[in-house]
Amino acid sequence: MASDDKPIASGRWHPPGSSRAEPAVLLGADKTLYVRLASGGDPVSLGDLARTDISARVGRIPRRIAFADGSLFETEDNDAVDLWLKKQGKSGFVHELERFHPRLIALVVAIFLFAGLIYRYAVPALVEVAVVVTPPAVTQWMASGTLLSLDQAIFDESKLPDARQTEIQQAFSEVATLSSRGVDGYNLNFRLGGVIGPNAFALPDGTLVITDELIELADGDMDMIIGVLAHEIGHVEEEHSLRQLYRAAGMAGLIMLIAGDVGAAGEDILTNGAALMSLSHSRDAENEADRISVELMAKAGRDPRAIGRFFARLEEKLGLDGESSFLSTHPGTAERRQAIDDHAKSIGAAGP
């Protein structure tokens, strides 16, 4: 060993795998640590600092320096060990401690960024997963619960004559047959809307509801009625309601749902009619449903622009900021009617 090797601390040396202890001294040179017995002779342990395990300082507990060969040096002189490690600067554990704070800050920042990313990307992704994994039995359960609570709170039995209901049902079936779910994917219900007035909506399982008030507003225009129902078919085909519900359920709700544990609170939300009714679709979802209405109506040989005419009539009769909850969930702007006309033209549908 070089002559500048200095004793770091004195203590006890244990040979590999033995509890035998011999008085010894720890020495250091550069990045090398070695142990010489108090009785003299060649070093008994030798190791590179990087490959030597020095226990962290814990109060007055003796420091253990474990060499790669299994031998151990133990000392009570913690200060001397720390001082030497500090002098080594670059790779001692003291240095690790100094880097601890910036690392902690970086970690906290990373956690916040990650949480932000989850909010931005994982929720929409989870919504898609939830939509895909939701079995039909669950959407049926949601729909029957929703319809039941709406029947109790808002609706009354339809006053529409049976013959008129049958007529609308037949016209609806002709359009529903052309949809991707087919006529069996839908179940049309007539109700007296009461406080919700002229309205139509779709539940995730294909249950459709149309109010007497909406049929009255259409004033005998069957295309208008069927155009609205075709728009609702669009919402079902694109699973808009389910997505809206899941978005509203949020991260916690989605995890519970995917894990198969909805819980009592979740059950309330998923089958509460008011919750579903208060969710308005996004502008994109509305445009999608409009396009599907235009396409289905054209295929069925009906007026593809009927849904646009319906929105115009709704505005004309009730005013833009009227009482109709259908208007509040279906903003019928001029732009929207233009988009309907444009789409009708683009698929080559003849005007009325």
Residues that bind Zn ion in the complex, under the rule CB under 5 A: 289, 330
Tokens 């913690």 belong to residue:
78
- Long-range contacts (CB closer than 8 Å, 24 or more residues apart) made by 138-144: 139/203, 139/204, 139/205, 139/242, 140/205, 141/271, 142/203, 142/204, 142/205, 142/245, 142/270, 142/271, 143/203, 143/204, 143/205, 143/206, 143/207, 144/207, 144/271
To the nearest whole angstrom, how small is the minimum distance from the Cβ of residue 202 to Zn ion? 8
Measured distance CA(71)–CA(36) in Å, rounded:
12
CB nearer to Zn ion: pick between 28 and 204 = 204
CB nearer to Zn ion: pick between 81 and 340 = 340
Pairing of strands 187-192, 207-211: parallel
CB nearer to Zn ion: pick between 242 and 289 = 289
To the nearest whole angstrom, how small is the minimum distance from the Cβ of residue 235 to Zn ion? 5
To the nearest whole angstrom, how small is the minimum distance from the Cβ of residue 265 to Zn ion? 27
Measured distance CA(350)–CA(81) in Å, rounded:
91
The SS3 of residue 187 is: strand
To the nearest whole angstrom, how small is the minimum distance from the Cβ of residue 312 to Zn ion? 15
Phi and psi at 33, nearest 5°, equal -115, 140
CB nearer to Zn ion: pick between 8 and 285 = 285
To the nearest whole angstrom, how small is the minimum distance from the Cβ of residue 240 to Zn ion? 8
To the nearest whole angstrom, how small is the minimum distance from the Cβ of residue 105 to Zn ion? 48
CB nearer to Zn ion: pick between 175 and 289 = 289
Measured distance CA(192)–CA(198) in Å, rounded:
9
Pairing of strands 6-14, 72-75: antiparallel
Which DSSP helix (H) or strand (E) runs through 116?
helix 93-117
Measured distance CA(187)–CA(167) in Å, rounded:
15
- Classify burial at 185, counting beta carbons within 10 Å of its beta carbon; exposed 0-12, middle 13-18, buried 19 or more: middle
CB nearer to Zn ion: pick between 81 and 327 = 327
CB nearer to Zn ion: pick between 92 and 332 = 332
CB nearer to Zn ion: pick between 142 and 289 = 289
To the nearest whole angstrom, how small is the minimum distance from the Cβ of residue 301 to Zn ion? 23
The residue with its CB nearest to Zn ion is 289
To the nearest whole angstrom, how small is the minimum distance from the Cβ of residue 228 to Zn ion? 9
Tokens 């679709």 belong to residue:
281
